[in-house]
Structure 1
């Protein structure tokens, strides 16, 4: 497959850096990096504004992603104040997606990450800022909102399984920046589709929600590397979209594509030229249905400040919630959240993918939101290992949700 070059080639987001007299510098000029204006306040204290992102109407500013690199700070106490955090969500001003509850992560190699501790963060409610204070143990340290999952990460995963007979990789279309929109099919090809249940899973409609890509990787590894997973492939077809917005992931985007459109808000009103991602994904679904193949369940994965399942009031959704709640100790005990008809009442082009697929095709389509804050069990923020471990549980949950 050798997808790394086409997936990760990027037009980098505007990033600012400034070097101090002591040689400390801050930058975000790499895949997935994103940061606004950087200002040195004192020798070891910096203010870093979040660049954020607005939509095609210059509304709904989202400031829920940052990922940057600090050089030259080994063994020096470092204070970074994150500013410009206030945004707008669904035309409601005042949302603050970055807070003390969502703990930043740091890494010295972009492979092993840890959350900052209670002693290393301080929230200032009056100024709406988040202050990070720690002493780097190495000359270079990366700081991010969540553990990043880039196009390169996905490319490496897909290259691992390129020779497997259970894996088929297709390109549904291309993004505005001409990256491939990938659709991965995982099943036992020797058993006819007519004898299996079909599940579509989608992640990263919003590029900042990196935890969802780790869940997808955990699911893929479970299906292909474990005996239980391979047994599922005799019974099910998995159609997987691991990164729905590769342009956003590459540039360190937040929520909107290159034309400023939310890829989870326009499934009832697709502008082909400006929303090629939704167009391609929707066409792939239509093509599948036109071949007389079923879609027994559709699930889109997202990250927010809570765990819950939402969708139409259908048996598949209630079973999905029950299985996920039992396996993930989800904080919500209220069961399936029954969806509204549209995200913003009275405004066209605001249906989510699960609203749109249910409305147009009566596909039982659901949203799974997963908490990026501290979770009850294991009483901490989720690590990469925790995100990956959700994948096998999700695979088993969708099996039960589609059972007769």
Structure 2
């Protein structure tokens, strides 16, 4: 028996692995940070034998509530991921599984590899409607990729989508994959209409360093990028600095920042209620977007979500609030679950790759619904 995490986005420390019924593990912290919750490892063991894997430091992870009613994911081929029996006693997370094959991967959520990210970017640039722009490099020297969908023009409105500021929230890049598949379909009427008057600026992965390192929430320097939007720097947060710089060039008329939430088993959005410039027109536009998405898909709801900021009390270091205030535009954080959508549960797969992709594609329809009302800079 052997356990390893020496691969892209791998994260686990082995305390003891002498017998399948008592495997002791711990999740590593993000570099230069106390955040941890993401795990991704491979087990070599005997097929047909139950393996009991205890993550002993689960109770002190970043979001312990995330373990409640949670089931870990497993895969034999790294394509199909399914849920396996998992329990949490307030201190330890226990994964119990009888593998059908000699090796199996386990993960907190379905990984989106850096290799797949590179493939996504190269695939997208094959479209006549897509331009691929290099914004710069991360602290580890990885590329910051921007995909520009549509022909830029000063008279067109700018729609920005960023994903995976928090690298462990891999569902965000699966969402972007679905959105891109829709935007690059030249037979999609809604998209063709949108691109007549809009340009999409998409960053599929805001945090490639943290993604490869197996971090939950931070970049290579241990910085939470979604607290850097007030004063980003090339020294600590080049990812945000470069994107903000480009936003200043293009303007922003609609901004979506894609995330995952550890605790809430729902898809929801967080808006800009607390920014200084928030007004009735902004609220009406937010409502129209949410109502459209509710009408489009049962995967989205508005009953459950984060508590709204009081007027004038938004944290302007967070992307959604920062961009919404700076550009006086419609801006949302879109959150998806690590667990499942409790309104539409799937016992075998939970919230899955296909559902992430579909929500990404459906969100283009919600953008279409509000496109004519977007405030231009």
Q: Report the TM-score, using the length of structure 1 for normalisation.
A: 0.81
Question: How far does the alpha carbon of each residue in 1:275-320 deviate from its partner, in whole angstroms, 9 at most, with x for none?
Answer: 111111111111223xxxxx22011011102432222241332222
Distance in structure 2 (CA, Å) of the matches to 1:148 and 1:375: 19
Q: How far is 1:98 from its partner?
A: 4.1
1:403 aligned counterpart, secondary structure: helix
2:292 aligned counterpart, secondary structure: helix
Preserved contact between residue 331 and residue 375 of structure 1 (Cα < 8 Å): no
Q: 2:180 aligns with which of 220, 245, 258?
A: 220
Question: How far does the alpha carbon of each residue in 1:83-142 deviate from its partner, in whole angstroms, 9 at most, with x for none?
Answer: 2123476xxxxx4154142321110111111112xxx222223xx112111111111100
CA RMSD of aligned residues (A): 2.3
- Residue equivalent to 1:296: 253
Name the CA shift for 1:98/1:49 in 2 (closer, same or farther; >3 Å). Answer: farther
Distance in structure 1 (CA, Å) of the matches to 2:207 and 2:68: 27
- Residue equivalent to 1:124: 89
Q: 1:106 aligns with which of 63, 74, 90?
A: 74
- Residue equivalent to 2:44: 71
Question: How far does the alpha carbon of each residue in 1:158-215 deviate from its partner, in whole angstroms, 9 at most, with x for none?
Answer: 222332210101011110001010110112x3xx635543210110000000111111
Deviating more after overlay: 129-138 vs 159-168: 159-168
Name the CA shift for 1:336/1:31 in 2 (closer, same or farther; >3 Å). Answer: closer
2:96 aligned counterpart, secondary structure: strand
Deviating more after overlay: 37-46 vs 177-186: 37-46
2:136 aligned counterpart, secondary structure: strand
Question: How far does the alpha carbon of each residue in 1:38-59 deviate from its partner, in whole angstroms, 9 at most, with x for none?
Answer: 31263432011111337x6x5x
Question: How far does the alpha carbon of each residue in 1:333-361 deviate from its partner, in whole angstroms, 9 at most, with x for none?
Answer: 279964455676xxxxx710111123333
Q: How does 1:135-154 map to 2 (within 5 A)?
A: 135-154=98-117
Q: Report the TM-score, using the length of structure 2 for normalisation.
A: 0.86
Q: Does 1:50 align with 2:58?
A: no
Q: Does 1:254 align with 2:254?
A: no
Q: 1:330 aligns with which of 281, 288, 300?
A: 300
Name the CA shift for 1:242/1:167 in 2 (closer, same or farther; >3 Å). Answer: same
Q: Which runs of 5+ in 1 are unaligned?
A: 1-23, 90-94, 290-294, 345-349
Aligned length: 354
- Residue equivalent to 2:328: 362
Preserved contact between residue 342 and residue 351 of structure 1 (Cα < 8 Å): no
Q: Does 1:39 align with 2:9?
A: no
2:287 aligned counterpart, secondary structure: helix
Q: 2:159 aligns with which of 170, 175, 199?
A: 199
Q: 2:354 aligns with which of 385, 390, 402?
A: 385
Preserved contact between residue 70 and residue 87 of structure 2 (Cα < 8 Å): no
Preserved contact between residue 71 and residue 87 of structure 2 (Cα < 8 Å): no
1:391 aligned counterpart, secondary structure: helix
Preserved contact between residue 202 and residue 242 of structure 1 (Cα < 8 Å): yes
Distance in structure 2 (CA, Å) of the matches to 1:271 and 1:171: 18
Distance in structure 2 (CA, Å) of the matches to 1:75 and 1:88: 31
Distance in structure 2 (CA, Å) of the matches to 1:336 and 1:395: 23
Q: How far is 1:376 from its partner?
A: 3.2
Q: Which runs of 5+ in 2 are unaligned?
A: 274-281
Question: How far does the alpha carbon of each residue in 1:205-231 deviate from its partner, in whole angstroms, 9 at most, with x for none?
Answer: 000001111110001011223523542
Name the CA shift for 1:158/1:270 in 2 (closer, same or farther; >3 Å). Answer: closer
2:184 aligned counterpart, secondary structure: helix
- Residue equivalent to 1:14: none
Q: Does 1:178 align with 2:141?
A: yes
2:270 aligned counterpart, secondary structure: strand
Name the CA shift for 1:284/1:334 in 2 (closer, same or farther; >3 Å). Answer: same
- Residue equivalent to 1:353: 319
Q: How does 1:231-242 map to 2 (within 5 A)?
A: 231=192, 232-242=194-204
Name the CA shift for 1:183/1:48 in 2 (closer, same or farther; >3 Å). Answer: same
Q: Does 1:399 align with 2:361?
A: no
